[in-house]
Chain A
């Protein structure tokens, strides 16, 4: 575990730095879509929920896992769709003229 722990902490540290650098550059214009996109991305916890549900190790884990899959899936689908819906509206030129 200690070696895993170390590499996991490294990954967390580096990802946080990358996150700070990338997100600092996002135009304030797009902060709402940013929030819904990061929301969709962090719904990757779906991956964990899938394994827990599918492994069927106990009744409790299937029940809790299924609820978790429902929640994460709602965020995956909803997050990407609403982000795109918002971004579609950002236009540079006036539509008429």
Chain B
């Protein structure tokens, strides 16, 4: 009887999880999606606690309490700029859980493991451990505990690949001879090491792709656990997570015009020394007063926020600017490049936090046709995604990358600390265009100045 109850809760949970993701698809139904997901989770947990194999609840309770004590503060107090770090940590947690369950199953059942079971167990353990250390490294890089510049050395790919090959080789041997338990720690150790080495050459600019990829791995290790424990709910949830991470990493790769292999083995993001002679070009700088006058006279303005805006904590000032312009009847939109921010969709969350209505946030494909009609495009803390060289300069490392057509607006304004190159170390020709005004200064401070000019002018009038 209890078996039926448990089975029922699992089927219901699987259905609720799918509905949950479906409702998440649109902002108006998204919160309903979360509720439904929570309900599914609660059902599945209650169902599991009825399991007849469970003889003691003591350690389960300890785990519940400790886990909630870790998870809740991370979710409640984490600033929105740090969501990528939290996400990396949660991938690490999920992957570790899967790897440990696999490990414990191995030692419990090593005598009686069939070839298939041992194979999924190996997949679970290898993916779990490498995602665990890989995600911890991603966390370290995002949090600046580990240098976020890519670290490359000659033969790096050969070393990494042979490590992975060694881990897989040992696992294959284990599949043939599940009893040789001396090899199991070797597989685990090699996977842990591979996770670290995999992340070392990855630069900050590639973090969105890598986080999405680790998300996919964490999901796949959960699905492998489902195969191992013969639990369809785990398979469904793991497959959903795995496909979601995969789709997101494909979107990120496309947005940067890179392939998976290039992200993982390319060591992108190093400062490249320009081959040709650097010609002295001059940029035109302007004051807040000049800029404010042009903005006020505009009828449509497109703001291009980049991660630099979030670093400067300027999003709330940007909201004030948005308010000031909207009050004057200026049509203000925000152009969001898919890789703006440090994880997929990050910029939208940062702007939503600053109370900017989400219907003003427009994705790249939709906003690009609007640039030629815009009076001003205002770039705040974005760089490479606005570089016109990506469209025409075949020698540029970012050639072919889809960019925001910022340069097509009547006037271009760029708020920037200095003329230094961005993440990828590439000079941006946007800055030297005739119609570009460089507004030098800290993003938060400068946007504040703009707002002051505008509200001051209004009071004076």
Asked, given contacts A54-B53, A81-B76, whether A11 binds B236 with beta carbons under 8 Å apart, the answer is yes
Chain B residues positioned under 8 Å from A96 (CB to CB): 323
Chain B residues positioned under 8 Å from A32 (CB to CB): 83, 87, 343-346, 348-349
| Contact of B54 with A54 in the complex, beta carbons under 8 Å | yes
Asked, given contacts A49-B63, A76-B67, whether A37 binds B34 with beta carbons under 8 Å apart, the answer is yes
Asked, given contacts A74-B70, A78-B90, A90-B352, whether A42 binds B229 with beta carbons under 8 Å apart, the answer is no
What are 28 A-B contacts with C-beta separation under 8 Å?
Answer: A11-B235, A22-B25, A30-B345, A32-B349, A33-B345, A34-B24, A35-B212, A37-B24, A41-B240, A42-B94, A45-B237, A47-B48, A48-B229, A50-B60, A54-B60, A71-B97, A72-B94, A73-B66, A75-B97, A78-B75, A79-B75, A79-B90, A82-B83, A84-B34, A86-B80, A87-B31, A89-B355, A93-B357
Asked, given contacts A23-B247, A27-B26, A80-B41, whether A11 binds B56 with beta carbons under 8 Å apart, the answer is no
Asked, given contacts A16-B243, A45-B98, A78-B90, whether A69 binds B63 with beta carbons under 8 Å apart, the answer is yes
B333 within 8 A of A: no
Asked, given contacts A62-B59, A79-B75, A82-B78, whether A34 binds B345 with beta carbons under 8 Å apart, the answer is yes
| Contact of A94 with B66 in the complex, beta carbons under 8 Å | no
Tell me, in angstroms, the Cα distance from A61 to B40 when the chains sit together.
27
| Contact of B20 with A73 in the complex, beta carbons under 8 Å | no
- Which of B71, B247, B326 interacts with A24 by CB under 8 Å? B247
Of B218-226, B279-287, B394-402, B445-453, the segment with at least 4 beta carbons within 8 Å of chain A is B218-226
Total of A-B residue pairs, C-beta within 8 Å:
368
B436 within 8 A of A: no
Tell me, in angstroms, the Cα distance from A58 to B233 when the chains sit together.
25
Chain B residues positioned under 8 Å from A83 (CB to CB): 34
Asked, given contacts A20-B247, A27-B25, A44-B13, whether A8 binds B230 with beta carbons under 8 Å apart, the answer is yes
- Extra pairs beyond A39-B218, A50-B60 (15, CB < 8 Å): A8-B232, A18-B240, A28-B251, A34-B248, A36-B90, A41-B20, A43-B94, A45-B97, A56-B56, A64-B104, A71-B96, A76-B71, A77-B75, A82-B76, A89-B349
Interface size on A, residues (CB 8 A): 85
* Chain A nearest CB, measured from B342 CB (Å): 10
Chain B residues positioned under 8 Å from A41 (CB to CB): 17, 20-21, 37, 40-41, 237, 240-241
CB closest residue in chain A, given B67: A73
Question: 1/0 per position for B4-44, CB-CB distance to A under 8 A?
Answer: 00000000010001101110111100110110011011001
Tell me, in angstroms, the Cα distance from A52 to B326 when the chains sit together.
58
Chain A residues positioned under 8 Å from B75 (CB to CB): 77-79, 81-82, 85
| Contact of B239 with A64 in the complex, beta carbons under 8 Å | no
Asked, given contacts A22-B18, A35-B248, whether A91 binds B233 with beta carbons under 8 Å apart, the answer is no
CB closest residue in chain B, given A95: B355
| Contact of A75 with B215 in the complex, beta carbons under 8 Å | no
